[in-house]
A and B are shown apart, each in its own frame.
Chain A
Amino acid sequence: MEIWNRHFECMDRDGIRHVQSERLRETVERVYFNVPYYRNRMQEAGLGPENIQTIDDLAKLPFTTKPDLRDNYPFGLFAVPMSEIVRVHASSGTTGKPTVVGYTRNDISTWSEVMARTLTSAGATRNDFIQVAYGYGLFTGGLGLHYGGEKIGASVIPISGGNTSRQIQLMKDFGSTVLACTPSYALYLAEAIQESGIKRDDLKLRVGVFGAEPWTENMRREIEDKLKIKAIDIYGLSEVIGPGVASECMDQEGLHINEDHFYPEIIDPVTLKVLPAGSTGELVFTTLTKEGLPLIRYRTRDLTRLTYDKCKCGRTMVRMDKCLGRSDDMLIIRGVNLFPSQVESVLLEMSEIKPHYLLIVDRVNNLDTLELKVEVDEAFFQDKISQLESLRQKLQNNLENSLGLAIKVTLVEPKIIERSEGKSKRVIDKRKF
């Protein structure tokens, strides 16, 4: 199997640590002098750039969190003048404000490089047709895969998400060999292909690169079985760069992290102490080469484990397990991030409704579904079906407008939603990961 960048991807551990230390020094210097937020945080901790010499000094630095990005919305953490920024992407945030990320020309080039590694590790080459069925736009999925595909010289089909019948038609007519989308959409497509009557032999699909949401080994087997392809897990988050942070190779034994660009640590989410190699905990990233939005010890909230052994494929880059869950209450619905607090803030804006709710997440026909049960307040209850219906519709519209997700609203009797001391149970996730 090909390796895109043998120099870095197969570098020995001492070599990689040397590269990481050097790049960390540069990054810390850059953020200290260009981002007031980081300078203040470092000064509060009594640190200057001279205190960070090797990668082992990283643990001295404070963490960065999603709320820190939000507090500096939209561009407060950018480390270059806006004239150097050539692209911005954004993902949904907790209070209606999106998380904004910016890229310099070099960042786009880095992103293309790590995506080229990702696609190559999935077995893709210049001879492939890559059908990019991730959404194009503010979401990083579509354009991330797109640039990586072009970088390796493959033929990229920028079809974006949705429109299943056209996906299937082009897959057949163009002879797509690589499919890139969310794993749940891959399963949905698999079933649509079966129903369409198209024979598997009419398709040239060989491999899929799937990410942007959690999925299980069972789902992988189902996708591989139904589509008769190899299903490769890829990982990324827009704050760090987008897709391209880590990806599986054809051996499917963990995801290789591009650690010459993104340095991973595993911490205990409660004590915030760095855990020894092999422990399960929260994944934290420090970007080592990013110019637009460098991040120091960014808490991803994803739970996983790191393995430093050399992989059968020859790569030495550290591997992470498939993410096991989250250390916060964020849900990922059809690739969109959702915090229950976002739902709550929509409810609080409507005086007719008390914010007693229960959010039920399920997966029906391989697509995530959301149902919101909300209690009818006696002060509002007025004996008219039409009034209750219009209230339900209004809430449903408000939720869709502010969250970008379709949520089915059901009105329920009061007090059926369990009240508990402290934090009540607001979410039931019936999906099996």
Chain B
Amino acid sequence: MIIHQLSIFLENKSGRLTEVLEVLGEENIRITALSVADTAEFGILRLIVSEPEKARELLKKQNFTVNLTEVISVMAPNEAKHYAKILRILSDMDISVEYTYAFSVGDKSIIILRCSNTEDAIKALKSHEMELLKASDLYKI
């Protein structure tokens, strides 16, 4: 249930995001989800890709600072109340969400969560019968 997300440190200057995508594009890596967290001077690019280990090596070779981060993914109907419920389950268990992002496919939401404790989060969500996605499920979307 654990998904390995690529986290890449980027300076805020034009062309850097393009370079990352070009490096991955040359080896036909597919991207399921992308999110950027930024400050005035730098940002962190977060990517869910088809072959995370390979992608990491490719980027490292090009001198990017890159790490794999454990996240989880939940599929739910794309209504706000479902997203709210997921967050409520986690907060009730004192699991904090460091960040989250989501995208829709049809009437379903695919929600990515980075939690303070990944194992506990998986347990809590499963016990509430939430639909957790495996890495292989995500890459097929």
Contacts and interface: CB of A to CB of B under 8 A. Distances in A.
Nearest to B67: A381
Nearest to B64: A413
Contacts of B66: 378
B65 A383 contact: no
Contacts of A423: none
Given A376-B65, A378-B67, A381-B65, A411 B114 contact: no
Nearest to B38: A385
Main secondary structure of the interface of B (DSSP, over half): strand
A59 interface: no
Contacts of A415: 63
Contacts of B69: 383
Interface in B1-55: 7, 9-11, 16, 37-39, 41-42, 44, 46
Contact of B9 (A376, A389, A410): A376
Contacts of A381: 7, 9, 65, 67
Interface residues of A, number: 17
A106 B122 CA distance: 79
Contacts of B65: 376-378, 381, 413-414
A382 B9 CA distance: 9
B67 A382 contact: yes
Nearest to A373: B11
A323 interface: no
A411 B42 CA distance: 7
A47 interface: no
A380 to B, nearest CB: 9
Interface residues of B, number: 21
A381 B117 CA distance: 18
B41 A383 contact: no
A413 B63 contact: yes
Interface string A367-382: 0000000001110011
A27 B14 CA distance: 63
B46 A383 contact: yes
A384 interface: yes
A376 B37 CA distance: 16
B98 interface: yes
A413 B11 contact: yes
A383 B7 contact: yes
Contact of B42 (A378, A383, A388, A416): A388
Interface string A394-433: 0000000000000000111111100000000000000000
Nearest to B70: A383
Nearest to A413: B11
B63 A383 contact: no
30 contacts: A376-B9, A378-B60, A378-B66, A381-B7, A381-B67, A383-B7, A383-B44, A383-B46, A383-B69, A383-B114, A384-B98, A385-B38, A385-B39, A388-B9, A388-B42, A388-B44, A410-B41, A410-B42, A411-B9, A411-B11, A411-B41, A412-B11, A413-B9, A413-B10, A413-B11, A413-B16, A413-B63, A413-B65, A414-B63, A416-B11
Given A381-B67, A383-B69, A388-B44, 15 more contacts: A376-B9, A381-B7, A383-B46, A383-B67, A385-B37, A385-B39, A385-B44, A410-B42, A411-B9, A411-B11, A411-B41, A411-B42, A413-B9, A414-B63, A415-B63
Query: What are the nearest 4 A-B pairs in CB distance?
Result: A383-B7, A415-B63, A383-B69, A378-B65
